[in-house]
Amino acid sequence: MSKFSKILIANRGEIAVRVIRACRELGIKAVAVYSEADKTAMHVREADEAHPIGPAPAAESYLRQDVLVETAVKAGCGAIHPGYGFLAENAGFAELCGKSGLVFIGSSSQSIRLLGDKMASRQCMQRAGVPVIPGCDKPGLSDADLAREAEAIGYPVLVKAAAGGGGKGMRVVHDPADFQKSLEAARREAKAAFGNETVFLERFLIEPRHVEFQIFGDAFGHRIHLCERECSIQRRHQKIIEETPSPALDPELRARMGEAAVQVAAAADYYNAGTVEFLLDKSRKFYFLEVNTRIQVEHPITEAVIGVDLVVEQIRVAMGQELSWSQSDIKQRGHAVECRLYAEDAANGFLPAAGPVLFLQEPLGPGLRFDSGVQTGDQVSVFYDPIIAKLVAFGQSREVAVQRSINALQQTAILGLTTNREFLMAVLQHPEFQAGNLHIGFLSQHLPDWKPAPPVDDELILSLTLAGLAGKYNSNSNNSSLNGEPRIPDPWQSVGAWQICGGGSR
């Protein structure tokens, strides 16, 4: 297959910026799309060209498959990269791309469809000999039958939606007396979220770790894994801190889990980048959970310890080239930690806190990477995921990587938004985290009532003064940005890289 001259990125924010930079590495022109809310966004400014696709709500823009494909064709693109979220795991979109003469940079629609159905994928892995969590995935059972199956599995039991993810359509049942109402509630939520009320049962594991393996395949039947990522630090089933290697794995367990991940890829005839997710219990038994059929948010930590560019490899494989690496080439070196920096109120149920980015100062130092989709003067919109950036710290040991993460968060300066920065530091500084004693209930067990420390007086005065100054510049500015929209000028250019709202120890 010939090289693409242009790729349309069917996404926004930091992942769109990440794909744009991968295109640049390959000498490919990157085509951005944007909603009305994003017409001055960073990914629009960084792309070689950008096209409007509709109003701010995602359902009227970034989820419009027909508009995205039509835009790609008109722009002369050879492929579409879906990023993650939105349409990245939509089998119908992958099929539509193919029918329109576009390459979908991801796995096949058949693999996406199979692995998007948790019951079907679970059954597929059982046939392939991959360990799955004990449970019941028989179709067509009555409520009474399911109740009997729950008794046989043993309580606590998990009622789980067959479609979707993100914790929707899931209920943990500890008492048989609560089973029926939990079953009905899970079905209602699954129907509302995914249009499919089908559920199945699994044994509920007590305090397991969430360990995933990066997999990659090409069109020549080569399939490998690129080792693991520990993703146990989660809030509402959403990861916020990830690391690699996992503190729980030794070489023998890593080899067994990696072999199982490749078995999963083979069983699903998997192609391009993906992630096999496992739960690891206290007895060090691991169980297949699901496959994310896309590049993961946390892919940079794998890039840091393996020394690869996963997005560039996605594009190469989509062009019909063989994998750049064999399994024997994959070696872990050092340790990496990723912290997801969100515009959210961690002390108030992690509620999103959209608004203007009055000032953003990235941290500087050895081993740091800051993947962001916003800059000073941009807006974190109420319409989309409120992620600001992914802060990645690499070191020769876990201790070094964790300390670099803490230092980098302390140096990260953000005005105009409430963020989870201090909460992330609290997690990283917790003795149990530093000891590597992690599980998916870590936050509710160790930091259930976390509140930020009050700012010291001089820091508060400085923050308020600078916020007011930024507002003054914003209101008086005649400067314009892309598409004629007003932008906040940068009054800090002559000030230097000094710290605001976060420097120093407390």
Catalytic residue numbers, as ranges = 294
Q: How far apart are the C-alpha atoms of 452 and 418, rounded to whole Å?
A: 11
Q: Which pair of tokens denotes residue 358?
A: 């009055």
Closest CA relative to residue 446, chosen from 433, 459, 455, 463: 433
- Checking DSSP bridges between strand 199-203 and strand 135-136, what pairing results, if any? antiparallel
CA dihedral 158, 162, 168, 173 (to 10 degrees): -20
Q: How far apart are the C-alpha atoms of 423 and 452, rounded to whole Å?
A: 7
Q: How far apart are the C-alpha atoms of 4 and 77, rounded to whole Å?
A: 7
Secondary structure E strands in 343-386: 344-345, 351-352, 355-356, 359-361, 368-372, 379-380
Q: Where does residue 236 fall: left (phi above 0), alpha (psi -120 to 50 degrees), or beta otherwise?
A: left
Helix (H, G, I), strand (E, B) or coil at 220: coil
Q: Where does residue 21 fall: left (phi above 0), alpha (psi -120 to 50 degrees), or beta otherwise?
A: alpha
List residues bridging with 209 in a β-sheet.
280
Q: How far apart are the C-alpha atoms of 132 and 154, rounded to whole Å?
A: 16
CA distances from 300 to 218, 239, 312, 336 (A): 21, 14, 12, 9
